[in-house]
Amino acid sequence: MSRARSRIAGVISLFGELLITAGVVLGLFVVYSLWWTNVLADREASRQADRIREGWTKPRPGGAQGPGALDTKDGIGFLHVPAMGDDEVLVKKGTTPAQLNGGVAGYYTEPVKSALPWQQKGNFTLAAHRDGHGAKFHNIHKLDEGDPIVFETRDTWYVYKVYKTLPQTSKYNVDVLKPVPKQSGKTAPGRYITLTTCTPIYTSDYRYIVWGELVRAVKVDRDRTRPAELR
């Protein structure tokens, strides 16, 4: 009888040790996913941002407007959203997980192609991670109607204001990305911006949407003076 009890006690002890080990491994994975990937992504984004700004200091032949070749390849500019925090977000082409893992936001090329801010009509549609890999849109829920969203290019500050949010919609709802975004209340072409990310926090079940409309475009001066919304 004592041998049976001893064996049972041994099995229970081993099972307990395995549970503890599994808990430690799971904890380390969570730390890696939610903290260390942010550190790595922010480092990479910072390097890319420095390269972009260095490229902006170089003159372009003929004084061409809009992003130059370097900008288009490495990033088209920087998103500034005071309600989400003080950090600027580098914006690059593409919205696949691999393209967003570098701590950036990406503009859509599919299923609905994004307009770009300097175009006269259309919807500038962006995505970024909400958790891990920089988590650039982690605080998207803090945006309210009237809050500014500013996009900075080499030549221009594009100032948008939030006019509507959609806290939850299907991940397959591509209508929110259309040139005149459905469910936003707009019915006519304009110059819009759409921010998208996963929701609820720590999941990817649904999408959180924020819509804004361009209120003005300000040419960048020699000192790169920020618009009033960012001071």
Does the bond joining 67 to the residue before it have cis omega, within 30 degrees of 0?
no
67 neighbors 52 (Cβ within 8 angstroms): no
The residue annotated as part of the active site, out of 129, 133, 138, 141, is 129
Name the token pair of 82: 């005071």
Sole residue written with tokens 């594009």: 158
Does the bond joining 200 to the residue before it have cis omega, within 30 degrees of 0?
yes
Give the residue among 129, 42, 40 at the shortest CA–CA distance from 88. 42
What's the gap between Cα 96 and its chain centre?
12
* 104-to-26, 57, 199 alpha-carbon distances in Å: 27, 22, 18
* Residues 61, 168: Cα–Cα separation, whole Å: 46
The residue annotated as part of the active site, out of 80, 133, 141, 198, is 198
> Is 129 among the catalytic positions?
yes
* Residues 182, 169: Cα–Cα separation, whole Å: 12
* 47-to-90, 102, 128 alpha-carbon distances in Å: 11, 10, 18
> Is 198 among the catalytic positions?
yes
Name the token pair of 9: 């006690």
Angle at 72 between CA 156 and CA 141, to 5 degrees: 65
Which residues are known catalytic residues?
129, 198
